[in-house]
Amino acid sequence: MPVFGKAIHALARIGDELWLDPMVKGLAVRSVNSAHSAYACFCFSPLFFQRYCPNTGPAGACGTVKCKLVMKSLLPLFRCLATIERNVDCCQISINLPDNRVIFQFHCRHGITKTHNLGFQESEALQAVFSSHLCPNVLKAQARLLGDMVMHFPVSQEEITLSMSPLRVNLKNYYEEDKDRIKAMHTKMSLDPSEFDYFQVGVDSDITFCLKELRGFLSFAESYGLPVSVHFGAAGKPVSFSMEDMVLEANVVLATLVDPESKTLSQATDVPPPAALRCGGVGEPMEKDGDAAPPQAQRFPSGNELVVSSQGSPVTGGAAPPCVTRTEGFDRLRTPPQAHAGPGITAPDSSEVHSLLFGAMSCEQGFGRSSVLPSLVCSSDTEDDGRL
């Protein structure tokens, strides 16, 4: 029970809404931030629960329902974890389809029962597709080590930069160039590869991502006590933090800042990303498109290119979908007036973040349908592919 509550707390640090997705293989609880640059997913296998019965009641054609809850309604139920641990004997979660309610029933000490009926919105599945097994760089460490690393950064620190080379792993805070550098406190720590349980460097890279959104996950991992794996590639590509055991899989995928130096590179989507150029030789499996979704995830346009969003819009081959461009700050989502253009577009020279694009795709849409979209979203059918 407290573990579930802690997962909710970690998800609450990411986004304002929670996706509840009961599947045969387990209960997935997910959240994404409003800028779509951070995504978290906790998947509890049936073993985690005393009793797990998906598909009770008149299940729809898709098998199970996907619910979207407002985080503000759900978080108070799990607000005080210490009290829950002390008082709650068990919690029953059920979904009432006709009334559009998710029911959380807490059976507490002294025979007291607390029942919360929360309204939900039926929603398409939310899932980020991120092929971590294709990432050139992998770190694995006890959550405690990562927690100790980030502990040195002030709570207000928004973003940090993780640098990896065969010799060292560095972590330093990230500050914007034009801000007053004198006032900022610069922190940098350097670790030897031997400190990690697993260390694989495929390409030297510096990735900058949002620390705040990661903290919730790290504190969950520390209390749960599992090692955390970090998968990433070059700057601009997402980074994934994950952990798993028999009963639980959890991960957070964060967008990373694009290296401003790569602005000058060609923007065509079929040009290999700068990572290949930089380390000269790491083969990105870019060319075998048409296969499953994962290769597409790698097809991340570098530089300051307008990235197409599939958010909410049915993407057809020829139509010009609305574009999203992300600027620094992680919290602004703008739709530029012009439609998606091809290569050659340069965006304003402030560093940009490539968003992890999540589209609420329906079950029917195939995932390999458009090579133009460098989206990370995969339809709900492909839960096996792009497993996080």
Partner 1 sequence: MLLSTHSQTVDDNYVLVASLDNVRNLSNILKAITFKDHAIFNATPNGLKVTVEDSKCLQANAFIQAEIFQEFTIKEDSVGFQINLTVLLDCLTIFGGSTVAGVTTALRMCYNGYGYPLTLFLEEGGVVTVCKINTQEPEEPIDFEFCSTNVTNKVILQSESLKEAFSELDMTSEVLQITMSPSQPYFRLSTFGNSGNAHYDYPKDSDMMELFQCSKTQTNRYRMSLLKPSTKALALSCKVSVRTDSRGFLSLQYLVRNDDGQICFVEYYCCPDEEAEEEY
- Asked if 101 touches partner 1 (CB under 8 A), the answer is yes
Q: Is 85 a residue that touches partner 1 (CB under 8 A)? A: no
- Distance CA(266)–CA(249), nearest Å, equals 38
* H-run or E-run covering 5: helix 2-12
CA pair distance 143, 160, nearest whole angstrom: 17
Judged by CB under 8 A, the residue of 58, 98, 111, 290 near partner 1 is 111
Query: Which C-beta is closer to partner 1: that of 116 or that of 212?
Result: 116
Work out which of 110, 179, 183, 288 binds partner 1, going by CB under 8 A. Answer: 110
In whole angstroms, the minimum distance from the beta carbon of 31 to partner 1 comes to: 16
| Nearer to partner 1 among residue 71 and residue 271 (C-beta) | 71
Site for partner 1 in 57-76 (CB under 8 A): 70, 72-74, 76
- HEC profile of 170-231: EEEECCCCCCCCCCCCCCEEEECHHHCCEEECCCCEEEEEECHHHHHHHHHHHHHCCEEEEE
Q: Does residue 116 interact with partner 1 by CB under 8 A?
A: yes
**What's at 57, amino acid-wise?**
G
What distance in Å separates the CA atoms of residue 119 and residue 97, rounded to the nearest whole number? 10
The region of 79-87, 148-156, 173-181, 339-347 touching partner 1 under the rule CB under 8 A is: 79-87
Task: Determine the 3-state secondary structure of 297 from DSSP.
Answer: helix
Query: Partners of 104 in the beta sheet?
Result: 93, 116
Q: Which is nearer to partner 1, 102 or 361 (CB)?
A: 102
| Number of residues in contact with partner 1 under rule CB under 8 A | 19
Task: Record the tokens describing residue 125, joined without a space.
Answer: 């599945």
Nearer to partner 1, 117 or 335 (CB): 117
Q: Minimal distance in Å, beta carbon 28 to partner 1?
A: 21
Q: Which of 55, 56, 94, 117 binds partner 1 (CB under 8 A)?
A: 117
87 is a contact residue toward partner 1 (CB under 8 A): yes
Q: Are 253 and 238 in contact (CB under 8 A)?
A: yes
Q: Which residues bind partner 1 (CB under 8 A)?
A: 70, 72-74, 76, 79, 83, 87, 101, 110-119
